[in-house]
Structure 1
Amino acid sequence: MAKFFLSRRWRPNKWPFYILLGIELPLTVALLALFGIAAPNLYRKKLWQDGADNGFNSSPTTGLYAIANYKPYTTPKVWSQFITNFNVVIAVLSMFIMLVKSIMYVLHVFPPVLSAIVHAIIIALYSVSIAYQASSDTSDPLHPQNGPPWYVTKSCSVTRNKSLVGYCRQAKASFACTCAALGIFGIYFILAIWSCFPSKSQREEYEEAKRLQAEKYAGLENISDPKSGKASVRYPVPDTPGFQGGLNPMTPRTLAFNTLGGTKDLPLRSHFSTPNVQSTSPTFALRSPDIPRSPMSPGFVNRAGMEDDDTIGKAIELSPTSPGAAPNLYFPPPPKTSKK
């Protein structure tokens, strides 16, 4: 049985995510516009007062009477400044998350598990917004409001002040868009959770990848130390030329040194090398041309075409009498000035 793992691919394909993005984009723009227009207090207090005039809810002056009579008072959640600012913040945050997650999804760095976490947080924020927008107002015992505010449950034509009809429709649209956004994010979350569970084909690919990985490390051998008794891992030895006594790999540097080792114009190379030590690198039958290239080489021919013995000298004369004897150094005399 295959082990459980979280899939990194979306199911059933990539198009459901693009469809949800196409719906979320205009919805987020609408929320950002509606909440931005309503901030900080364009029509909240006006709708509150109009509802009090109709007897639907408490009055904005209820708090003043409570304070004057030394009674505790808390502004109802639906009419508080907090929910107005909170809606603006979550609208801006939703726009930012939508742009980021769309780019990450195109770049294949937005796995379902990350999507589930992100959309769970957004769902929690929008749930708080809906709970505040649809909360009740029971601060006035004479005019209690048990349930959502009047502009959500009633038609905007019931307003006392007819100039507030447009504001009533904006508040109604804000609440409707918030509920729609919560539904879209809920679909995101369900799709992400469903995609976290791998399909049958994904399980087969996972098993094949695990099998190839096991074959890759099959060459490792477990050996135990006879002294400590602990097990250790012996890694396979790479088949590299020149490793552990094999032939040296042929590189440009090796080829250059081997070529210089067989020339005639480097007499000091064999003289200063370690005695009785043979090189392990292979030798090649590469030799310099027989034509002398330096006045220090034997057989040098001058410009006149004649061999001048006075300008010829050996750099070093190797004449050891025994295998361990020191060589006799010979320094050639300076060349004489030629006479015309």
Structure 2
Amino acid sequence: MKAAKAPKFFLSRRWKPNKWPFYVLIGIELPLTVALLALFGIASPDTYRTRLWQDGADNGFNSSPTTGLYAAANYRPYTTPRVWSQFITDYNVAIVVLSLFIMLVKSIMYMLHVFPPILSVVIHIGLTIIYAVSVDYQASNDTTDPDHPQHGAPWYITKKCSVAHDKNNVHYCTQAKAAFACTCAMLGIFVTYLGFALYSCVPTRQQREEYAEKQRLKAERWAKFETYQDEETGETNTSRFPVPETPGIQTLNPMTPRTMAFNTLGGTKDLPLRTHFSSPNPTSTSPPLAIRSPDIPRSPMSPGFIGRIGADKSNGKAPEIEHFSPQNGATPQLYFPPPPKTSKK
């Protein structure tokens, strides 16, 4: 028997080389996510963004926050630089909350073995893109003021925090620098996740052979259902629908408990009462239900009933009741009890 030929390419569902690299990445991502959640939460909505903007303007590093007011007063178009906009502050808070949720879900799914590498590729491509946008906004330039253009990242990233014009802004500068560093670290973690997932999607030689063997067995199993050979002509035909093979003697019909019960009771057709009620001329051979209880007395008004009260009162016997059948020729008579006697005072 020839060995199964391995397929050209398919996506692997196993992580490789083992499960520990994923746990190591989770252990690095968790503290970074908590740190970013705290830093971006402190910075929202505008704790130190405008302060650092004005401090850079005082040092001549970038434009002033009042540049937009002068532009509006002179009817000139003005757009707030991306690095100093409210959008980047809200955006950072949103992406860190989203990444925290995804981290919790993917870690649980990975431990339950329902997180294949291809799903990790899709998720971490998205996380890589949104964190790359955050890094780009935080390190964008500010050229709105021609006298003080800022080409490249803002001053709190490129310079030491000790150069701050207002010494009260030093710790704010440190927080902004730490937030940018943690964002870059998170971007590197997600890129590592992406590379690890892409590497795991490529199957090994052993996985290709196992996959090819499964496909061969599946094809052989379905081939038995799709083709059959005619016993009379000897021709091989292809069936439209798969016919399962029943083990044992093929000429016997399968017996169900219901069929066995009706065969035991003598009924070989369908329910006996169905034809009895549906047809005026029943074909059922079951005996009619004509059982009577001769010992139970009927009502005095019913035909065939004659009551006779014995006249022997000396022995204290109760009145005897006799039953007569209309077949003996006797005429039934009705008995009416006498009216009750009135008591004398």
TM-score using structure 2 length: 0.70
Compared CA separation, residues 64 and 220, structure 1 to 2 (3 A)? same
2:26 corresponds, among 21, 41, 49, to: 21
Assess if the C-alpha contact under 8 Å between 1:241 and 1:248 holds in 2: no
Assess if the C-alpha contact under 8 Å between 2:225 and 2:239 holds in 1: no
- 2:117 aligns to what? 112
Q: Partners of 1:37 and 1:221 in 2: how far apart?
A: 68
- Offset at residue 175 of structure 1 (A): 0.2
Query: 1:246 aligned to 2:246?
Result: no
Query: 1:173 aligned to 2:183?
Result: no
- 1:321 aligns to what? none
- 1:315 aligns to what? none
- Offset at residue 252 of structure 1 (A): 4.3
**RMSD between superposed Cα atoms in Å:** 2.8
2:169 corresponds, among 158, 164, 182, to: 164
Report SS of the residue matched to 2:45: coil
Report SS of the residue matched to 1:218: helix
2:50 corresponds, among 40, 45, 49, to: 45
Q: Partners of 1:210 and 1:221 in 2: how far apart?
A: 16
1:217 corresponds, among 214, 218, 222, to: 222
Mind listing any 5+ residue stretches in structure 1 that lack a counterpart? 225-229, 263-271, 275-295, 297-332, 335-340
Aligned residues: 263
Superposed, 1:186-225 pairs within 5 Å as 186-222=191-227
- Offset at residue 70 of structure 1 (A): 2.0
Q: Partners of 1:106 and 1:129 in 2: how far apart?
A: 30
Compared CA separation, residues 109 and 177, structure 1 to 2 (3 A)? same
Report SS of the residue matched to 2:224: coil
Compared CA separation, residues 72 and 92, structure 1 to 2 (3 A)? same
- Offset at residue 78 of structure 1 (A): 0.6
- 1:56 aligns to what? 61
Report SS of the residue matched to 1:8: coil
Assess if the C-alpha contact under 8 Å between 1:223 and 1:233 holds in 2: no
- Offset at residue 259 of structure 1 (A): 4.1
2:157 corresponds, among 134, 139, 152, to: 152
Assess if the C-alpha contact under 8 Å between 1:28 and 1:95 holds in 2: yes
Report SS of the residue matched to 1:219: helix
Assess if the C-alpha contact under 8 Å between 1:56 and 1:150 holds in 2: yes
- Offset at residue 237 of structure 1 (A): 4.4
Q: Partners of 1:73 and 1:8 in 2: how far apart?
A: 52
Query: 1:125 aligned to 2:130?
Result: yes
- The letter of the residue matching 2:121 is A
Q: Partners of 2:252 and 2:191 in 1: how far apart?
A: 66
TM-score using structure 1 length: 0.71
The structure with the larger Rg is: 2
- Offset at residue 138 of structure 1 (A): 1.0
- The letter of the residue matching 1:181 is M
Report SS of the residue matched to 2:223: coil
**Identity over aligned pairs, percent:** 65
- Offset at residue 218 of structure 1 (A): 2.5
- Offset at residue 217 of structure 1 (A): 1.4
- Offset at residue 142 of structure 1 (A): 1.2
Q: Partners of 2:80 and 2:259 in 1: how far apart?
A: 88
